[in-house]
Structure 1
């Protein structure tokens, strides 16, 4: 094996490790984002295709989450939706637990709020039930609902 080949393999392994480290570092954000997405998408009783598409586009365009595959994102979203559908109270508890892990990260919390508002508005109607859920999410994240014109 040539030195160049060895160096190339070493760089590839370092890149793979960095990607894996980024996934681990952002797993809490992924879970919180999918929990919030599930809560807001189900707030009005149904999940629209527009809401799903907006969530996927947001994840794909966000540097912190772009390390996750679309299938990872969809699985996390479906897990939270499934929990909410099976038992609303337990599903909400698990979703808010995931959100609580971002409480100390103002930047991530604000980004997540912008994302859920975009998801809720994607079908052309940000209704009262969605606003109530958004206020609960903001409170859980420790950000002011007024900052996002929710009250």
Structure 2
């Protein structure tokens, strides 16, 4: 199977797993960590171009699990996290990883946040090394072994 197909299949499988847990994923910490993860993946290479920002915004709006929260609220939070990363990537990344770390005490939420990162990163069929690296860092922040997700 081609790498492209494996990435798409993995993202699809993770989205199915997330949908099955939708009712367990309603906390504010999960909401914040999910939006932080989306911004982190979008800015994985150190910048966020407008097309990528729009693509991630569309993925957020269409994600079944994230429909537990008002779309405008998610968009505002995503934009705030993106702004932190574009203002000063390294400082913003530390703050975002701290936000992601807050779900570490709830393994279901922590794993779901990592899965969202993988879904967002793989949505274009290219879960590249910079995206994998930031999701790996998020795993450590959330207290999850990256090997669990083949990172």
Q: What band does the TM-score fall into relative to the shorter chain?
A: 0.7 to 0.9
Give the alignment's TM-score, normalised by structure 2: 0.74
Supply the distance in 2 between the matched residues of 1:149 and 1:91 (Cα, whole angstroms): 26
Q: Structure 1 residue 54 and structure 2 residue 55: aligned?
A: no
Residue 109 of structure 1 corresponds to: 110
Matching residue of 1:18:
none
- Say if 1:37 and 1:119, in contact at 8 Å, map to a contact too: yes
1:32 is aligned to 33
Specify every segment of 5 or more residues in structure 2 that has no aligned partner in the other structure, as ranges: 1-25
Q: CA deviation at 1:67?
A: 4.2
- Say which structure, 1 or 2, has more relative contact order (CA 8 Å, 6+ apart): 2
Q: C-alpha separation between the residues in 2 aligned to 1:112 and 1:100?
A: 10
Q: Which runs of 5+ in 1 are unaligned?
A: 1-24
Distance 1:129 1:35 in 2: 16
Contact 1:36 1:116 survives alignment (8 Å): yes
Aligned counterparts of 2:69 and 2:55: Cα–Cα separation in 1 = 21
In 1, Cα distance between the equivalents of 2:99 and 2:123? 23
Following superposition of structure 1 onto structure 2, how do residues 58-77 of structure 1 map, counting pairs within 5 Å? 58=63, 61-62=64-65, 65-77=66-78
Query: What is residue 99 of structure 1 aligned with on the other side?
Result: 100
Count of residues paired in the alignment: 122
Between Structure 1 and Structure 2, whose CA radius of gyration is higher?
A: 1
